[in-house]
Structures are given as C-alpha cells and as structure tokens.
Structure 1
Amino acid sequence: MSSTRIAPNPPAQLLDALSLLLGDGQLSMQTLPDTEIKLWLINADNMDRQFSPEETQRILEEPPYWCFCWASGLVLARWLAQNPDWVRNKRVLDFGTGSGVAAIAAAKTGAFEVVACDLDPLALAATRANAELNDVDLSYSADFFVEADRFDLIIVADVLYDRANLPLLDQFLSRGKQALVADSRVRDFQHPLYQRLGIMQACTWPDLAEPAEFRQVSLYPAQRS
C-alpha cells in the first residue's frame, strides 16, 4: 500500500518574522537550481511589488538574509558537491551561515561534523529548518570567537560585502587549518594567503535581478601558514 508524503509547512517562527517585515511575506520550499538542496525561501511573488517606505526601512534595519540563497552561497554549495574531498570526513564551520546552504552542502557531501555559525537567531532557526528539509545533522553556534581552533575548514559566503569585514580573513585561519571564501562583492582584496581559484556564475535565489557583476562569484582558498 503506497503512502503519500505530506508536504511540510513553513516554520511559524520564520513566517512570523517575515510578516513583520512584509505584511504579505510568504515562504515556500524551493529546490536550488543545479543542486538537490531544498530551502525555505521567500516567495518570488513577494518581490514583484513596490515596497512601502516603512517596509523598505524595516528591511534595511533588519535584512532577512536567511530567506534568500545568495549567489555566493549557491556557488559554494555547488562547488563542494563537485569537489567532495574538500569536506569529506572533515570538521567544517560555516561562518555567517544565513540560510545554511553551504553548511547543508558540506554535510551532504560527507563532512564528519558541520557547525553552522551566525549571529542572527533567525538565521540559525532557518538553518535548522532547512537542515531538516535535507535530512542532515548540523551543530550550531552564535559566536565564532568562542569556538576552539579545531576545524579542518572554515567555509564562508557573502560576508565581504563591507570592506570593514576584511580583517575576518585572518580570523578564519585562527579557527581552521584552511578557509574557502566565496564572494561576489569585494574583488580586489590583497591577502598573501588567499588566492583566487576561479570565477563562477550564479544568481541569488529567488532572482533579485542583481547587476551582472554580482553574478560573478570568486572562490578564494587559503591555508594556514
């Protein structure tokens, strides 16, 4: 006798948070292009109207990073799936996990342990929900700087949008033997331990119609000297 699996409902905590920003904000389970990863993401329809000044202000004050899969996170997830030796049987921390896409990709690719780290409690809640969607087990941290220097790899996507964050490049290597940074915003940082591996194409999902330059994601690996 066959059984029909009932589709899960969006987590109430995340729906409530989104509705405080956008009165009609909705989440849907979406499979990311060219991956097997499913995430709870904002409905594309919510982006097809003009926001009120009040909504715009709320979004600027508390950006809901967790309900998008940003281009760099998508590139990093795809790259890990295609290059499993980077994470297989290793201890991995995903810094600024957001929706959890890179952490989930690392877990699905065979990492021994994956810690999803983010200051935003909603990002950690979203990552928990997304990990459940993908049947993977993650650990969680709200403070990178209390973590011990015990990781084989620190993975990072979309945290260099502000040049003030560039000193984090050294901090990543204070907790992990290696780091792998994906970014589409800052292209000219000079660091002796980080060398560009390549440039890959992706867009934020749902598509925000970002400029073409933000669809070019660079990958920078580094190893502690």
Structure 2
Amino acid sequence: MEREADDVRAADRLVRERAAPVPVPGVPEVVLPTAADVLELWEETERGSDGPRPPPFWGFPWVGGQALARHVLDHPALVAGARVVDVACGSGLVAVAAALAGAARVRAVDVDPLAVAAARWSADLNGVGLEVVRADVLAGDALSRGGVLADARVVLVGDLFYERATAQRLLPLLRRAAGAGALVLVGDPGRAYLPTGLEEVARHEVPVVAHLEDADVRSTAVLRVV
C-alpha cells in the first residue's frame, strides 16, 4: 500500500510539473493539463522507468477526443442523467465534457497512471466529479458484473483506433456494449484502423494542438457503434 501511494504521488507530481492548465481548442468550456512539448514530455516520462513507455497521450487533447467532447456538450441530452464511461480517457477531456453536460455519473478509465493523475487534476480544474479508475478495459471482461463497463448506459471512446492490435480487440467489446443497450460513440479523424460499418452522426473541423497531426485542422467524425 505504501509503494502504491508513493507511485500515485510521483505520477501526480510529474503531471503537475510537466503540464499546465490550458483551455481546449474547439472546446473552451474545458481546461486540461497540457504539456508544452510532446517529445520533451515523452523523454521525461521514460527517464527512470524500467523500459520504454507509451507516448504520453495524457499530455495533449487529441482530435478524436476534441470532436467527441464538442459533440457531447452540443447535445447534452445524449448523456444527461446517464451512467457514462470514458474509455482510455487520457487527461479526461471527454469525461469532463460528459460531466458538464449533466451525466449522473462519469467513470474515466485509463491504464496509464500518469493519465489517471491528469484526469483527476482535470476534474478539479473543471469543478466536476469523476470516478477515475486505473484499469485496462481489454483485460478480462469489462462488461461482466463489477467490470468497468458493466453498468454504463453511454460509452465514449476518443481517438483509440491508431493501432491494429488495440482496434481488433476493442471493437468486439464496443459492439457487445452497444448490443446490451449502451449508446457507444467514437471520435476519430480517420485513423488507420478505424473499423468500417460505424454510423457517422456528426463531423467537426478540429484545431490541432502542438503539431500532433499533419495539418493545423483535422476533419474529425463522431461515429456510433451499431
């Protein structure tokens, strides 16, 4: 328990040292911890770790999440009074948007302890209550009793189809959630492994943060999993 508490404090300290609160382009209602330089942040998070770490997805709002957050705020009836889960939440942009839009409960889930720390800070910055959980939705059965998606009526996924293995494992889970009656929405600018057969419900022209993309603005879809 003491080691776990130390790890939480270390993650919180690194996030607050390397990021600063910034309004999200295209979603100015939300303020997120945002890093100034993606490569510098990546090097910092790898320093002292046991091996290579994944990119610091928590350090910046990605366009899929920006579009999805904008859509939720523009259409609050989608989440109002509902139990919502933000899958692979990063710094919690979509989760915060759902809370601001009137969701009854929002669970923000990510496997990265730094993302968990960032999402908790985001909740404080925006004055909302989030249940922030460190978990891998692809480990075990997230829809079983006690799983992180078990009681979700709305499942939100921002920008997660950038990798083949993740996409192949994630889509069946999302389709099962939709089949069980949840509204499942994905924000995606056309990543390489975005599945076919999703229903596009909206499209946004999203300003890009920190030169993370190959253009200053990316046309980004909000899609429903059916």
| Bin for the TM-score computed over the shorter chain | 0.7 to 0.9
- Tell me how far apart the structure 1 counterparts of residues 149 and 74 of structure 2 sit (CA, whole Å): 29
- Count residues in correspondence: 198
Task: State the match for 1:171 in structure 2.
Answer: 173
Distance apart, 1:187 and its partner CA: 7.1
Distance 2:200 2:61 in 1: 22
Distance in 2 separating the partners of 1:188 and 1:138:
28
Residues 81-116 of structure 1, C-alpha deviation per residue, up to 9 Å, x if partnerless?
101111011111000000100000000000011100
1:93 aligned counterpart, secondary structure: strand
Distance 1:102 1:210 in 2: 19
Aligned partner of 1:162 in structure 2 is 163
1:190: how far off?
1.9
For residue 189 of structure 1, what is the aligned residue in structure 2? 195
Q: Does 1:215 align with 2:218?
A: yes
- Identify if the C-alpha distance between structure 1 residues 128 and 212 changes in structure 2 by more than 3 Å, giving closer, same or farther: same
Residue matched to 1:135: 127
1:22 alignment counterpart? none
Contact 2:163 2:193 survives alignment (8 Å): no
**Residue 123 of structure 2 aligns to which amino acid in structure 1?**
A
Taking the aligned partners of 1:77 and 1:39, their CA distance within structure 2 comes to: 12
The Cα of 1:147 is off from its aligned counterpart by 2.5
Inter-partner Cα distance in structure 2 for 1:152 and 1:163: 27
- 1:151–1:188 CA distance, 2 compared to 1 (3 A): closer
CA displacement, residues 170-191 of structure 1 (integer Å, 9 cap, x when unaligned): 2024345120001121476223
Shift of 1:163: 2.5
TM-score after normalising by structure 2: 0.76
Aligned 8 A contact 1:117 1:140 in 2: yes
* Mapped contact 1:147–1:175 kept (Cα < 8 A): no
Could you tell me which amino acid in structure 2 is paired with residue 170 of structure 1?
P
Give the equivalent residue in structure 2 for 1:6: none
- TM-score for the superposition, normalised by structure 1: 0.76
Q: How does 1:116-131 map to 2 (within 5 A)?
A: 116-131=108-123
Q: Structure 1's 38 and 189: CA in aligned 2 closer, same or farther, altered over 3 A?
A: same
1:216 Cα deviation after fit:
1.9
Identity of aligned residues (%): 30
More moved, 126-135 vs 69-78: 69-78
1:127-147 C-alpha deviation (Å, 9 max, x unpaired):
001100001001122133232
Which secondary structure does the structure 2 equivalent of 1:104 belong to?
helix
CA contact (8 A) 2:188 2:194 kept: no
The amino acid of 1:171's aligned partner reads L
Runs (5+) with no aligned partner, structure 1: 1-10, 19-24
CA distance in 2, matches of 1:202, 1:187: 20
Q: 1:187 to 1:200 in 2, by over 3 A?
A: farther
- What amino acid is aligned across from residue 16 of structure 1 in structure 2? L
Is residue 75 of structure 1 aligned with residue 77 of structure 2?
no
Distance in 1 between residues matched to 2:59 and 2:155, nearest whole Å: 22
Say if 1:90 and 1:152, in contact at 8 Å, map to a contact too: yes
- How far residue 17 of structure 1 moved from its aligned partner, in angstroms, is 6.0
Partner SS for 2:225? strand
**1:124, CA displacement in angstroms?**
0.9
SS in 1 for 2:200: coil
